[in-house]
Structure 1
């Protein structure tokens, strides 16, 4: 458990990609102080979760030394069920990702960073 986010569910995994279902629990400390009247998951929390899962499943460093592109398209609200799709290209040394709503597929964020 990271920052009060329950354990993720692996939906699909290969050597270089993974799809995870993650519940963004309303009790997570990621929401503390971030717009108290209208809680939403901060962009930095999305990046933190992404880097955590990339480290856990691909053994990558817990850092993003070279951000190529990050796009935040929609708000993640408390108790959302989201889908993290993470791909690791070891030859190019980069991670690409997409975070979307598990139910309707609406994209919350996407991007690429180099390791």
Structure 2
């Protein structure tokens, strides 16, 4: 995991097994440097890191990922934009499902399968 600094959270909304954060993607974030010279774009690896860290922290799991599934990066996330990050916990509680969007515009999505070993440690507590 790259351990990037997290974006500015403007607001949040929680329900039973999901959370949504409205995020500000400031132009001065270091991840834009050199990615790309013609048009700065937030790297997919940074988006993935944020989803893992924020989702695991919210749901109380260690950042221990077994696999990543159906990763899609549909639109470019640009500097000085606002997006919503939605993360849901599936019913078996082994996967986090994430999506970055702004209205009808989809930026990225995927499933994060958490390590069974880490989940067992959390359930023992």
Task: Tell me the TM-score normalised to structure 2 length.
Answer: 0.79
Runs of 4+ off more than 3 Å:
none
Aligned residue in 1 for 2:111: 112
2:62 alignment partner, SS class:
coil
2:11 to 6, 9, 15: 9
Task: Tell me the TM-score normalised to structure 1 length.
Answer: 0.86
Within a 5 Å distance, the mapping from 1:1-115 to structure 2 comes to 3=5, 5-10=7-12, 12-89=13-90, 91-101=92-102, 104-115=103-114
Cα deviations by residue, 1:38-76 (Å, 9 ceiling, x for unpaired): 100000010011012112211222243211211110100
User: Which one has a bigger Cα radius of gyration?
Assistant: 2
Q: What CA distance in whole angstroms lies between the structure 2 residues aligned with 1:113 and 1:4?
A: 18
Q: Any gaps of 5 or more consecutive residues in structure 2?
A: 115-125
Contact 2:32 2:40 in 1 (8 A): yes
Q: Any gaps of 5 or more consecutive residues in structure 1?
A: none
Q: What CA distance in whole angstroms lies between the structure 2 residues aligned with 1:34 and 1:41?
A: 7
C-alpha RMSD of the superposition: 1.7
Q: What CA distance in whole angstroms lies between the structure 1 residues aligned with 2:10 and 2:71?
A: 22
Contact 2:22 2:85 in 1 (8 A): yes
Query: 1:9/1:61 Cα in 2 relative to 1: closer, same or farther (>3 Å)?
Result: same
